Amino acid sequence: MAVTSKGYQGTVWFQREFAVSSKKRGCHLVTDEVLANVPEIANMKIGLLNLHIKHTSASLCLNENWDPDVRVDMEMMLNKLVPDSTPFKHSCEGPDDMPAHVKAAFLGASVNVPLTEGKLNLGTWQGIWLCEHRNHAGKRNLVATLQGALK
């Protein structure tokens, strides 16, 4: 689904919902998947991308895009902070469900990235992560909202 509308003084809004492939538990670099699913980014002179995940047991964040060990270490630390063995009351969806909700609350459901000359204006070592907190999750649905001025 894609929606586009023009705002005041040449401001354009665009929104697209898309799914990213199923991921194993852990932190995954998804910058390229976002760019592939939201080609309209290339048309923006200046603007903002808001990326939102429509799930409560996975999260999004900006972090290291070069060394994959950082993603492994982040998963290790999240598991130390919120172990599956914690005796949560909510347990009807399995032992990894409530810890997943806590981790998602810590990291958040949305990220904002500036857009400059048709590109994500990220730092040299920054990328968009999807953090999957469940052991056996399916595809995850994201909503990308662009606001800004076209080239």
Q: 104 to each of 27, 49, 97, 109, 146, how far by Cα in Å? A: 12, 20, 11, 7, 23
Question: In this structure, is residue 3 part of a structural domain?
Answer: no
Digitized pLDDT (tens) for each residue of the chain, 151 residues in all: 565 555 556 799 999 999 999 999 999 999 999 999 999 999 999 999 999 999 999 999 999 999 999 999 999 999 999 999 999 999 999 999 999 999 999 999 999 999 999 999 999 999 999 999 999 999 999 999 999 999 9
Question: In this structure, is residue 4 part of a structural domain?
Answer: no
Question: In this structure, is residue 95 part of a structural domain?
Answer: yes
Output the domain CATH number for residue 97.
2.60.120.460
Token pair for residue 26?
């852990």
Question: In this structure, is residue 50 part of a structural domain?
Answer: yes
What is the domain range of residue 138?
12-150
Q: How many domains does the chain have?
A: 1
Question: In this structure, is residue 71 part of a structural domain?
Answer: yes
Question: In this structure, is residue 2 part of a structural domain?
Answer: no
